[in-house]
Amino acid sequence: MEEEYLKKITITVLLAVLAVLVFFVIKPIILSIILGIITAVIFAPMYDRSLKMVKSKNLAASIVTLFLVLFLLLIVFALIYFFTGHLLNSYESFKQVDFITPITTLFPSLASNPTFLIITESIIESSLDKFVNSILSSLTFNNFIIWSFQFVVFFFTFYFVIRDKDNFANYTKSILPFPKDITERLFTSSRDITFSVIYGQIVIGAIQGLIVGISFFILGIKNAFLLTILAILAGIFPIIGTTIVWLPVAVYLIVAGNNLEAVIVSIFGVISNFIDNILRPIFVSRLTKMHPLPVLIGMIGGFLLFGLLGGILGPLIIAYGFIMLEVYRGKNIEGVFIREN
């Protein structure tokens, strides 16, 4: 008995030590691995359809991976083209924009406080300089090499996970210390909540931002591209929404005497806000939905912890935590933060 107990203790200690060592080994690339797994879950339906047509796992996984590579390369080159072509011009244009006049027009009492106006202008200029410098500093050769390695890990993880997804799923299920029905429920909820966050928040939020951006381009508003990017990012975050972008633009147009343009921007903004109620039920009508509060907290916390990619990982991590909590509760009463449609 003591010998068996000693063996278990030894194995447990060895596993713990190895787990720590493995963590430190994969720590620099752990975000790429996680994103590769999440992306594989998202593209699993496309892989299944490809597999039915070509009857080969390797070929089906290669087709889907090639599609993903081309899609991401298109996005990367488009962003590089727009940023290199418009960033410096937009930077100069933003520096020439008079941000003080609208503020003093809306709040006349501030016009008599020159100290406030000087500090406000200084804050705006320094924030703009830091934003541009951060983008330019990320385009160095060393960062390019690092990003290249990250992309290699991401695509290899995606390929093998999507190709062997059933084997990975069965192996993971065999490790979990839950009954079969709870394990199946856990996997189903995890898959559904991943689709819910990706499509319900990110895709729909991006569509909302693009709708607002269309009005900026139609009206020829300066820095329309950067404003559209900001609208997309704002649309992705729940509760905040695109209003935080298009409303100040509309107010600025009114102050500048462009009332018709302000009305057009407001119309597109209102349409963008209604998109949430139209498209979200279509995308996630059969999936588990998350309360907007943990999504918002997860996006902000994830962004502060992991950077830009944390905006995706944060809400998913919190969602999986609530899924485990629901499994622990084991009750039929609907949850507060994760609920059925």
The predicted-structure confidence for 250-297, as pLDDT tens digits, reads as follows: 888 887 778 888 899 989 988 888 876 666 656 554 554 667 677 778
Q: Which residue has the higher pLDDT, 335 or 48?
A: 48
130 pLDDT above the threshold of 80:
no
Q: How confident is the model at residue 158 (pLDDT cuts 50, 70, 90)?
A: very high
- Is the residue at 98 inside a domain? yes
DSSP conformational letter for 222: T
Cα angle at 165 between 160 and 170, to 5 degrees? 130
Cα–Cα distances in Å, from 192 out to 35, 72, 150, 189, 340? 16, 24, 27, 5, 11
Q: Is the pTM of this model over 0.75?
A: no
d(CA 180, CA 192): 18
> Which are the contacts of 312, defined by CB distance < 8 A and separation ≥ 6?
35, 38, 197, 198, 202, 302
3-state DSSP helix/strand/coil % of the chain, to nearest 5: 85, 0, 15
Give the SS3 label for residue 17: helix
Return the pLDDT at 99: 61
Mean pLDDT calculated for residue range 306-327: 76
Assigned token pair, 147: 């990003």
- Is the residue at 91 inside a domain? yes
Return the pLDDT at 133: 66
26 pLDDT above the threshold of 90:
no
Give the SS3 label for residue 282: helix
Domains: count for the chain: 1
- Is the residue at 310 inside a domain? no
- Is the residue at 253 inside a domain? no
- Is the residue at 113 inside a domain? yes
Return the pLDDT at 274: 81
d(CA 72, CA 52): 25
- Is the residue at 236 inside a domain? no
Q: By residue range, what is the domain housing residue 166?
A: 34-175
Q: How confident is the model at residue 59 (pLDDT cuts 50, 70, 90)?
A: very high
- Is the residue at 57 inside a domain? yes
Q: Give the residue among 89, 94, 153 at the shortest CA–CA distance from 128.
A: 94
d(CA 267, CA 272): 9
Assigned token pair, 148: 């290249």
Buried b (16+ CB within 10 A) or exposed e, 34-63: bbbbbbbbbbbeebeebbeeeeebeebbeb
Q: How confident is the model at residue 201 (pLDDT cuts 50, 70, 90)?
A: confident
How many CB atoms neighbour CB 25 within 10 A? 10
Mean pLDDT calculated for residue range 151-158: 92
- Is the residue at 239 inside a domain? no
